[in-house]
Amino acid sequence: MPAPEPRPAIFDTPVTRTYGTRIPVVAGGLQWLANADYVSAAGRAGILSFITAASFPKLDDLRAEIRRCREMCDGAPFGVNVSMIPKLVPGEQTEEIFRLIADEGVRFVETSGRSPEAFMPILKGANITVLHKVPSLRYAVKAESVGVDMVSIVGAECGGHPGLDMVGSIVNAGLADERLTIPWLVGGGFGHGKQLIAALAMGASGVVMGTRFLVAEEVQAHPGYKQALIDATEIDTALTLQSVRNTVRSLKNETTEIVAALERDNPDIGIGGLMDHVSGKIGRRAYDTGDVSRGILSAGHALGFVDRIEPFAAIVSRLEVEALAALARLGVAA
């Protein structure tokens, strides 16, 4: 594995040391989009990302994607995201997925959804570094108690699932050092290098970004979808699915309006009554067609920073320049 490029001292954190990255940024796993093309581009650009295991329902397909990613990374780091829904369901393959990851020699895993406690023996037995993503600081404390290596705490501003507590990122970052002893990252609304400096100043070892990277050239999605994100702003998101305790922040569109009305007028509608509108296969069509009018298309307040389609490496380079400019504004040498 080639030695990582030199980095400013400010970027020497448990994140960069553990993962061998240039800057302490993690690109969150994106359902259907975080494939080998996306994840290897992140690694080559100097940050870490994760293949989303849920995007590959067949284990053989996931194994093939891991191998493809390893080849495309050319020595750069990568991991696999395992999103476990809050409750165990019949036919779930979570244990098999973790065993496959261990068998393939993957070094880094991102878990989310529910506690990874039951699977820690598999992961630790394979010397896998576990980053557990949570929507609230109280879950981070629990994750530390079961032995994860790091936690990422995503605030209410995030795209996807901000949880039920809806505490903002600045508060999460302000409190995390008081309650955790393991390294932690903060996410939700992060899309600019100056925010990275602010997070590091509050004690974070790094930040998590998802929305900011949706317009990377390497994301396998229709240009019309990406242009819609560029045209949107930080106020163009909506919260839905609160009635089923599975809150999602996504791009405002016809679907979010319909679902919001259904939830308002029928508080006991349940997920079954909403599925015709929120099914993942509906949203997935936007990636193929560029039509963003239908489906739940996860996106956060960081849409305000999304301004052009460009290579992953160019986005990361801009983040680094922005971060160093923020340091200079403070009169701090890099």
The CATH class for the domain spanning 9-219+310-329 reads alpha beta
* Spatial contact of 52 and 30, defined as CB atoms under 8 Å apart: yes
What distance in Å separates the CA atoms of residue 143 and residue 132, rounded to the nearest whole number? 7
- How high is the pLDDT of residue 280? 84
**Three-class SS of residue 188?**
coil
By CB atoms closer than 10 A (0-12, 13-18, 19+), residue 87 is: exposed
The 10s digit of each residue's pLDDT in 92-132 is 799 999 999 999 999 999 999 899 999 999 999 999 999 99
Q: Where are the domains of the chain?
A: 9-219+310-329, 235-299
Of the candidates 50, 92, 96, the one whose C-alpha atom is nearest the C-alpha of residue 73 is 50
Q: What pLDDT sits at residue 267?
A: 87
Q: Please classify residue 9 by burial: count the beta carbons closer than 10 Å to its beta carbon, then call 0-12 exposed, 13-18 middle and 19+ buried.
A: exposed
Question: What local confidence, expressed as pLDDT, does residue 4 receive?
Answer: 53
Give Cα separations from 62 to 35, 39, 283 (angstroms).
Answer: 10, 14, 21
| Mean pLDDT rounded to a whole number for the chain | 94
The three-state secondary structure class of 265 is helix
Structure tokens at 240: 């839905």
Low-confidence ranges of the chain (pLDDT < 50): 1
Instruction: Say whether 302 sits in a helix, a strand or coil.
Output: helix
pLDDT digits (tens, 9 = 90+) for 289-298: 999 999 999 9
The whole-angstrom separation of Cα 246 and Cα 244 is 5
